[in-house]
Structure 1
């Protein structure tokens, strides 16, 4: 098993822990951002992290791993590889989380839902709901980073490799905005 120190070291070594003023996927603002793509570009790190995630769900008879696009695609694939099962991803179609590209969930299939980072857990919750609506059984949720400090309840067993309490603000009550600091939406401006 990887220690918290080893996992943190991987994020620091790859420059994946950023500070500044960020607009998160949830719409909230934060002074800290985890750009997991900077970790996931390194297959050696990705394999280690996803193997650790898979180990935390050993014995669950998982038959598929699903993650939301975009952050969960590589995590789903590599975790599925570690478990020896298929890895699929969901996408939003007309604002609704959906399976596309011929992916399917069979009734009774035991699915692990994964993601790179959660703050509110919104995307993971949507994937969980989708899997259940298709007759699948969600055995748990695995994430590389839980920015909620562990307080997000997804209604299933949740395992996070890193749990941090990253402060986030409603845009209308953001002290960084009041200071006049421009908010950067991660994934743009080379971030």
Structure 2
């Protein structure tokens, strides 16, 4: 899928929102991608996952043992990536503020994991999820996401494969433009701190 085709999917599902949003990263923006809306249609979610799988080189795809996503945002696309790759998909969650595997999910030491996110801005949640997976003995070999909104800034110790890179401006708490600051703040992400 091209960037325009991916954005068309977001627009068709009314998942591209405008206003004043505080992201899970703590940054502020005038644009928010509500991936849960774009993924609520199973056929659309499947198309996006298949397109994302095609961004991952064949040798990396063939090495993947399992797909793991951070809850909440990554669960649906992670599941669809598992289906597209023919691999088990599970998720890490934060019942006490730190990511962990629960619900009987396990990794065998040395298993090669693809970490899948919906949107990556700073990579903080992804790095926290990688740390939790590695603490269980898994080896994250790549990160994939529907959207990279880091402006090309996010770096991992493994290859990163986004479906599309979008560069909506983000602002630190102390650098919010007056026009944006005048709008009420919404916190649509899964992390409320």
Runs (4 or more) in structure 1 with deviation over 4 Å come to 176-179
Normalised TM-score (structure 1)? 0.91
Coordinate RMSD, CA, aligned: 1.7
Q: 1:116 matched to which residue of 2?
A: 118
Q: Distance in 1 between matches of 2:64 and 2:135?
A: 18
Q: 1:170 matched to which residue of 2?
A: 172
Q: Distance in 2 between matches of 1:176 and 1:127?
A: 35
Normalised TM-score (structure 2)? 0.90
Q: 1:72 matched to which residue of 2?
A: 74
Contact 1:21–1:176 under 8 Å retained in 2: no
TM-superposed deviation, 1:134 = 1.9
The reply to whether residue 82 of structure 1 matches residue 84 of structure 2 is yes
1:56-104 Cα offsets, whole Å, 9 max, x none, are 3333221100000001101111100111110000001321111110101
TM-superposed deviation, 1:182 = 1.1
Give 3-state SS (helix, strand or coil) of 1:31's partner: strand
Q: 1:141 matched to which residue of 2?
A: 143
> Which structure is richer in relative contact order (CA contacts within 8 A, separation 6 or more)?
2
Q: Distance in 2 between matches of 1:5 and 1:126?
A: 31
How many pairs are equivalent? 187
Q: Aligned ranges for residues 54-69 of structure 1 at < 5 Å?
A: 54-57=53-56, 58-60=58-60, 61-69=63-71
TM-superposed deviation, 1:55 = 2.6
Contact 1:177–1:183 under 8 Å retained in 2: no
Change in CA separation of 1:178 and 1:149 when aligned onto 2, cut-off 3 Å: closer
